[in-house]
Amino acid sequence: MKLNVLRNIILGISILVITFGIGYRVGQKSTSVSSSLSAVEIVGQTKGKNPTVDFSLFWDVWDRVGKYYIDKEKIDPQKMVYGAISGMVSSLGDPYTVFLPPTQNKEAKDDLGGKFEGIGAQLGVKEKKIVVIAPLKGTPAETAGIKSGDWIVKVDGKETLNWTVFEAVSKIRGPKGSSVELTIVHKDASSSSDIKVTRDTINVASVEWELKNLSCSSENNCKKVVYLKLSRFGDQTSEEWNKGISEILQALPGTASQTNDEIKGLVFDLRNNPGGYLAGSVFIASEFLKDGIVVKQESIRSGNQQYSVDRKGRLTSIPMVVLINKGTASAGEIVAGSLQERARAKLFGETTFGKGSVQEAQELEGGAGIHITTAKWLLPSGKWINGTGIEPDIAVTNDESKPEEDTQLLKALEYLIK
């Protein structure tokens, strides 16, 4: 089945709520209110579609704030509207259904575009707390020692409990050269530490690869393994992926059809991949699977659907291993899980993040936006991994005290050349 490529996203979310009118935005009827807010023209205030909803309390509070609040200079009607809408959405208790004011909406789209100014860390929410899904390679976050699984408990001294990902992003991002202080609790640590990080321009290439020569008996006689890393599923991923795969095939001797006989295998690194577009997961998985189901989706609006391999893959028979860790989320989990369940690849590493919902990104007036959870996705077997993640076939943990040693990668390479 064809995917809505532009709008269905699976946010793991990144590091990277909105105009609604007042109440319901249906029509353009104008209404005035009393008190110091009486000069504000309220547009779009008409009856909503639900006749049982009474907005009189809302307007009562609106008037009372304008009439009685001590510091009139702090009263910003537009911020009050944004706050009311944010509260409405947050009442659902879903950290991935969020309202985005214009600035935050732009930041969310910049994430998927692959270029922004900040510290370079992918964030998520667990237990109502902000957690680092993954620091991006070569970014200020990685240099500062921020790791997957770290809790960010404060940003510039402000508590982050109950923040959304986008609230955290808006506070952590900033101009190149400026700094932000994060209070971090490392995984398994009993106390927090303050880390000052200087922001920079973050350019994130979603696809990287190299050809590794192993067990060389001579300079020209080595066992070859392709190492291929996918860091996210974004706007440019399909283009970057096709370019990378073409380069891999051209760099190896023989034609594409002969390539599988020339190398020992491929290590596909999905560690610290926070996800992105749902369509991207089907596109990537189709590179390795000849046919069959990649992912299933359950939605009240569109019912049960399943998405199968949608193109002819170029790497459908090469032996492969997939690397995963706790930073592998959403679309990354779809690819890893489908390759595991379809017996196409062994998974090495750690249990993944566990995000099994699908968000639809909708644009609102004035540059605002809203991400609404519209469905949940399931592995080909029908398993829902939300909150639990995907377990590896071979559990391997890297020693965080020795960042120069990548034990997970070494074990995967050993498995392929044995």
Tell me, yes or no, whether 125 and 85 share the same domain.
no
Count each helix (H run) and each strand (E run) in the chain, helices first.
10, 23
Can you give the pLDDT at residue 203?
79
In a domain, 3, yes or no: no
Out of 87-91, 106-110, 276-280, the most confident range is 87-91
How many domains is the chain built from?
A: 3
Identify whether 330 is a catalytic site residue: yes
* Cβ neighbours of 161 (radius 10 Å): 10
Can you give the pLDDT at residue 131?
92
d(CA 110, CA 112): 5
**Angle of helix 237-251 relative to helix 278-285, nearest 10 degrees?**
20
Residue 408 has pLDDT above 80, yes or no: yes
What digits encode the pLDDT tens for the residues 306-363? 999 999 999 999 999 999 999 999 999 999 999 999 999 999 999 999 999 999 999 9
In a domain, 9, yes or no: no
The CATH number of residue 152's host domain is 2.30.42.10
**Which pLDDT band, with edges at 50, 70 and 90, does 286 fall under?**
very high
d(CA 123, CA 387): 16
Tell me, yes or no, whether 321 and 231 share the same domain.
yes
115 or 270: which leads in pLDDT: 270
Identify whether 306 is a catalytic site residue: no
Identify whether 418 is a catalytic site residue: no
Domain span including residue 197: 115-203
d(CA 252, CA 256): 9
Residue 381 has pLDDT above 70, yes or no: yes
Can you give the pLDDT at residue 283?
97
Q: What is the DSSP string of 35-73?
A: GGGTTSPEEEE---S-TT---HHHHHHHHHHHHH-S-GG
What digits encode the pLDDT tens for the residues 40-71? 555 555 555 666 788 899 999 999 999 999 99
Please give the radius of gyration of the chain, using alpha carbons only, rounded to the nearest integer: 24
Q: Which of 147, 224, 264, 355 is the catalytic position?
A: 355
Tell me, yes or no, whether 325 and 377 share the same domain.
yes
What is the CA angle 21-71-161, rounded to 5?
Answer: 65
Tell me, yes or no, whether 338 and 198 share the same domain.
no
**Nearest CA to 3 among 382, 285, 385, 395?**
285
Tell me, yes or no, whether 253 and 395 share the same domain.
yes
What digits encode the pLDDT tens for the residues 202-219? 877 789 999 998 877 666
Burial label for 408, CB within 10 Å (0-12, 13-18, 19+), is buried
In a domain, 401, yes or no: yes
Tell me, yes or no, whether 216 and 172 share the same domain.
no
Q: Which of 286, 340, 359, 408 is the catalytic position?
A: 359
Tell me, yes or no, whether 199 and 211 share the same domain.
no
Contact between 192 and 38 (Cβ < 8 Å): no
Q: Which of 206, 231, 297, 330 is the catalytic position?
A: 330
The CATH number of residue 409's host domain is 3.90.226.10
What digits encode the pLDDT tens for the residues 347-377? 999 999 999 999 999 999 999 999 999 999 9
